[in-house]
A and B are shown apart, each in its own frame.
Chain A
Amino acid sequence: MIGVAAFAVTLLAFRRDYRVLENYKYLFGLGAVGLLFMPLLPGIGQTVNGARLWVHAGPFQIQPGELGKVALIVFLAAYLREKREVLAQGRVKDWGPLLVIWGGAMLVLFVTDDLGSALLYYGIFLAMLYAATARLSFVVVALGLFLAGSAAVYQGTPHVRERVTNWLDPWTTHKVFCPLSGTMTLRQDCTSYQEVQSLYSIAHGGYGGTGLGSGTFTNTQGHQIIPYLNTDFIYSALAQELGLAGASALLLIYMVFVLRGFRVSLLAGDGFSKLLAAGLTFGFALQTFIIVGGILRVIPLTGITLPFVSYGGSSIVSNFLLLAGLMLVSHRANVEVEGR
């Protein structure tokens, strides 16, 4: 509901010309950084499932990073549109912004232990940088820097190390030390329990699924088998109830959405619109890949939400903002094409 309201308000507010946003780009930049770091503030920040991503304000819990993502894309679209020629020349002093963003992403990663969000922001940034400058070497260098930073974080952060271990070897045949209970137990009964049970849930769906509403998610005592099923692990619930047919259909719908998004970006008349649409769309695809890929053991699991499906107010609001942005760009492009 809030999501639809935000969607409507955004459409109404910028129905004439959303490009005024360009003028407030630094405000968006600062806002994005502020939102990203909000959970770290003492008093309102909350640690959920090993990562500081949440802010509680009265009865509400918000994940400000979700809104920060949209703000960051608006900032990058505006900033890169302005500086793309200078950046493309690749003078040393123009590496500044790149290094600042890299540092910021690493900082977010390091202090919030949130590999997924860091990967998402950094990926969006690289995609938009490449789109603006056409310099593949930037991307290669930046990816190298990211890997180096990740390796350092892997060494320094037990939470990240545990995620990687669970990714590579979720099942053990001998007992290993379990930090949750402090005893020796099989890894699938301890740290990788969620990942493993989520795979079991997916496998139970088979080709046709169990049917909507008749999936198996609670044990015989009525307790939930997979914690965070409605947020982080929503895909394993869907894959069980809809089966391979339904899960693939969902991914195909996402693919259609992504292709339409890029089409909007191609048709748009000005650089800001192009970058904005491309950034929003690529972010959408990358976010889907990071969470679903994590569940499917393509990459290490990181708790971020699945666009439009996960249960979670902040995520839904930000995704409707994203949709509103794409529609605005699309509308403008159409008007321009007709006007010519």
Chain B
Amino acid sequence: MNRQLSRLALVAVVLLVALVAATTYWQAWAAGGLQDRQDNAVELVAQFQVARGLILADNGRPLAADRRVRRNGQTLYFRRYPQKGLAAQVVGYSTSARTQTGLEESLNDYLTGANTNLSNAIRRELAQLGGATVHGNNLVLTLDPAAQALALQQLGDRCGAVVAMNPRTGAVYVMASTPTYDPNLIDKPGGYAKILKIRGGCGDGSALLNNATAGLFTPGSTFKMVTAAAALDSGAFTPDSVFHDPGYCIEYGKKVSNAGNPDQKGPEAFGRVTLAQGFEHSINSVFCNVGKKIGAATILEYAKKFGFYSTPPLETPANERAPSGLYYNGKLEYPKHPDTAVDPGRLAFGQEHLAVTPLQMLLVASTIANGGVVPRPYLVQRIVGPDGSTVHTTRPDNLGRAIKASTAADLTQMMISVVQAGTGTAAQIPGVQVAGKTGTAETAVNHVYTAWFVCFAPADDPTVAVAVVLEKQLNGFGGAVAAPIAKLVLEKLLHG
């Protein structure tokens, strides 16, 4: 009988080994997938047992903090946002239904202390076994809360965005998007529906959308920075190249007129001008002719070097950032034969299906300020452990060279004259040389514009670059509507 008994013993052991294998599968292999499921009631509670890390502005003021509650013998930590709508779209929210956006979503592993660094994992495991509360890591952002508040206040209830960064390092100082919302409302009954109803002055804007990184706007004349960069860097033109401006440019046998001047009827005509003067006064016919000469392919190639056609890197979730470029029926497309498929004249002055994010236009200005190298933008300067030790420090990086240093210097001179004597005089700051470019993009409605101003200062040694956009401005020219806001934000960041 002993042979049968040995075999039975083997069967019994195999059954138990199968259980060890299955347990390993669920706890090691499949655990991650299960934890992410929305109907997971265990994680739903467990998330509140972790003291989630704080999200702090650069001066240490908390943008996201915890509310400690004792309930049914459990200590639970609920999220609160003391600064309300100040940086709502950047910080995002983390709700009790486990929906997350913004940095709360993308850096959730750090905030819950689940980031897989060996010493962290061991510390967390030991703390847990000892019955202690798990504390997440704190994020220290690069945002300047005073400048951020000023930007929000200036935007008011209009749809728009203000983004500012250090053009040398890529540290983002301001990322304001309006209309904004109070993330504390999300978990309140009916709060989410209330947020969805926020319209601002423009009708179709969503408060939840981060206009600075995901809002797509027609760049208008701010795109002339890219066209001018292509014209100069390719060697086809110099700032002194001469043009004749009759007030229009002829494309495909038709007149394309310059923008109207608010002070006079009909389009302006400047006569004999240089490329630099054309930039200073934002003359469309000049850029139309530049576009016809160098072609759409060259312009788009340079746009790509500035970061168009790729999603700009940032710590926020990828689906909250959009790439800039030519959009056909809502889809980003790089034409197979740009020189025949794209109208080079209209592309040159920033119309023709172009849609850009404020962050992308800020990157163009920052690249010029940074001597031709595209800085890599970042929002998180440090991640600090619960014991105060630094878990991660962001090192400034770049995304490669877009244009020659000499081209950047020429463009800087052209942008200085825009502010000194051109369309951007409203951005002048006494004692500081500001370099900038206005943009007034046409919309489907006559006399309603998307107003832009993109600038940096001080021009000889830039420390701050700012991009401002305002949507649907009636008779709102970039130089009149957006430039004053850019000026105030620049001053705040330069002088404190």
Contacts and interface: CB of A to CB of B under 8 A. Distances in A.
Nearest to B49: A216
Given A134-B3, A219-B45, A207 B28 contact: yes
B16 A211 contact: no
B27 A243 contact: yes
Contact of A258 (B16, B30, B131): B16
Most buried by A among B8, B11, B48, B49: B8
A211 B46 contact: no
Given A207-B27, A285-B15, A266 B39 contact: no
B340 interface: no
User: Interface centre among A265, A271, A286, by most B CB within 10 Å?
Assistant: A265
If over half of A's interface residues share one DSSP class (helix, strand or loop), that class is named, otherwise mixed; here it is helix
A292 B19 contact: yes
B341 interface: no
B131 A214 contact: yes
Interface extent on B, as a size class? 35 or more
B6 to A, nearest CB: 7
Contacts of A221: 72
Interface stretch (B122-130, B176-184, B200-208, B210-218): B122-130
Interface in A286-307: 286, 288-289, 292-293, 296-298
B71 A208 contact: no
A310 to B, nearest CB: 15
B72 A127 contact: no
B494 interface: no
Interface string B42-74: 111110110000000000000000000001111
Given A188-B39, A220-B45, A258-B12, A247 B27 contact: yes
A255 B37 CA distance: 34
8 contacts: A134-B4, A202-B23, A217-B42, A218-B72, A220-B45, A220-B71, A239-B23, A244-B24
B20 A251 contact: yes
State the 6 A-B residue pairs at the shortest beta-carbon distance, nearest first.
A222-B72, A285-B12, A262-B9, A296-B22, A203-B34, A289-B15
B5 A265 contact: yes
B40 interface: yes
Given A203-B30, A213-B131, 13 more contacts: A131-B4, A132-B1, A200-B43, A208-B128, A210-B128, A220-B44, A222-B72, A248-B24, A271-B1, A278-B8, A288-B15, A289-B19, A292-B22
Contacts of B22: 292-293, 296-298
Interface in B103-137: 125, 128-131
B16 A255 contact: yes
Given A218-B72, A220-B76, A258-B9, A203 B27 contact: yes
A200 B40 contact: yes
Nearest to B34: A203
Nearest to B129: A211
* B interface: dominant SS: helix
Interface of A: 127, 130-132, 134, 171, 186, 188-189, 196-197, 199-211, 213-214, 216-222, 225, 239-240, 243-244, 247-248, 251-252, 254-255, 258-259, 262, 265-266, 271, 274-275, 278, 281-282, 285-286, 288-289, 292-293, 296-298
B34 A199 contact: yes
Please indicate which of the listed interface residues A220, A255, A286, A289 has the most CB atoms of chain B within 10 Å of its own CB: A220
B27 A244 contact: yes
A296 B13 CA distance: 17
B445 interface: no
B129 A208 contact: yes
A193 B73 CA distance: 25
Interface in B65-87: 71-74, 76
B105 to A, nearest CB: 20
Given A207-B28, A281-B12, A289 B18 contact: yes
Interface in B247-272: none
B394 interface: no
Nearest to B13: A255
B2 interface: yes
B26 interface: yes
Given A132-B1, A208-B128, A203 B23 contact: no
Contacts of B196: none
Given A199-B26, A203-B27, A278-B5, A262 B12 contact: yes
B379 to A, nearest CB: 30
Nearest to A213: B131
Contacts of B390: none
B310 interface: no
Contacts of B17: 255
Contact of B128 (A201, A214, A258, A262): A214
